[in-house]
Amino acid sequence: MARAPFELAGVRVAPGTRAQIEVPIAKLYTHAPLDIPVEVVHGRQAGPTLLVCSAIHGDEINGVEIVRRLLRSRQINRLRGTLIAVPIVNIFGFVQHSRYLPDRRDLNRCFPGTESGSLGGRIAALFREQIVDHATHIIDLHTGAIHRTNLPQIRAQLDEAGEETRRMADAFGAPVILNAELREGSLRHYAQGRGIPVLTYEAGEALRFDEWAIASGVRGVLRVMRRLGMLAGEQRHRAPPAAEVANGSSWARAPIDGILRPRARLGARVSRGEVLGIVSDPFGNEEGEVLAMADGIVIGASRLPLANEGEALFHIARFDEIDEAESAIETFHSGLEPPPDALY
């Protein structure tokens, strides 16, 4: 029996074909239309429907490049199931180099949205109805916020989400899985409430391309697709090293106002009480030590040396088996090609 076409936003995509679709979301003050760009790859054979999306926060651009490379991969030409690829969800923020929408709302706190609410609520409702509700599985691509960078990591609520989510997280191959609570209004919160397995991939920083984060993201998405049976050849590909699950995390904060001199690098193992950096005034008359509050691994860090008292500077993940976590990160880094000189 022939597989049925896939329909999205009124466009029918035949089996064995792909189509780029513009989903209207709003208009500018000038009456110029704004659309969410979507590409659908509809395989000839039945399988899962995977949504891969990025830039829900408009300044988190690593995921845009991950989606581009994914769509150019020759492997998806033999796809089973359906891939819905959305490189830019928050068009308003992307154009303005901003995390937020024009009304300063965070789109990833607006789900499930409403057709009669705020701009964020309206866009969330449209994205949910037109795109998200078609998916059986989701990978949501993120980076650190402005002036912060993240070690490549998967975030998922493993205790509540079910075996399929854990299977996807293990397949992705990031060195760390953060067993993270759901945030109300997020895409992950909405999807998991509907029983849709969803991963959040965090890597790199806002408004910057990070080749390690991008290349790792592309490989991770393809690994998940193979694990889901959407791509052939899982047996021929070497399994990624087992990721360690962090059982919690917290931020080390600036003890005083001043300028940060960091000592701990991203991915480093640290011990409780270890000095992660020094904050001092411009003359060096007053200094304060940024101390690790627990044994763990640095999975996020500020990239801006200027710090106000209480500002989050180093994100420390805690592990039951910290030796294994350190080994997983070292193995992850050793398997990466040195990135080319940054272009941006």
What is the average per-residue pLDDT within 131-137? 98
pTM as predicted? 0.94
Phi and psi at 285, nearest 5°, equal -75, -35
pLDDT of residue 342: 45
CA–centroid distance for 258 within its chain: 31
The owner of tokens 């492997």 is 75
- DSSP string over 283-307: TSSSEEEEE-SSSEEEEEEE--SEE
Phi and psi at 253, nearest 5°, equal -115, 160
pLDDT of residue 344: 41
Q: Are 76 and 162 in contact (CB under 8 A)?
A: no
Report the distance separating Cα 189 and Cα 4, nearest Å. Answer: 30
> Residue 197 — very low, low, confident or very high, per pLDDT cuts 50/70/90?
very high
Which tens digits make up the pLDDT trace of 268-318?
999 999 999 999 999 999 999 999 999 999 999 999 999 999 999 999 999
**Alpha helix (H) ranges present in 90-180?**
91-95, 119-130, 158-161, 163-172
**Alpha helix (H) ranges present in 105-208?**
119-130, 158-161, 163-172, 187-193
Report the distance separating Cα 59 and Cα 206, nearest Å. Answer: 5
Q: Are 138 and 198 in contact (CB under 8 A)?
A: yes
Which token pair is 282? Answer: 């411009």
DSSP-derived secondary structure letter, 234: G
Give me the chain's average pLDDT, please. 93
What is the average per-residue pLDDT within 167-186? 94
What is the average per-residue pLDDT within 64-84? 97
Which tens digits make up the pLDDT trace of 101-113?
999 999 999 999 9
Q: What domains does the chain contain, in order, with CATH numbers? A: 6-244 (3.40.630.10), 249-323 (2.40.50.100)
Q: Is the pLDDT of residue 343 over 60?
A: no
Q: How many CB atoms lie within 10 A of CB 318?
A: 17
pLDDT of residue 244: 83
The owner of tokens 């499930």 is 112
Q: Are 152 and 336 in contact (CB under 8 A)?
A: no
The residues facing 30 across adjacent strands are none
Q: Is the pLDDT of residue 141 over 50?
A: yes
Q: In this predicted model, which residue has the larger pLDDT, 337 or 105? A: 105
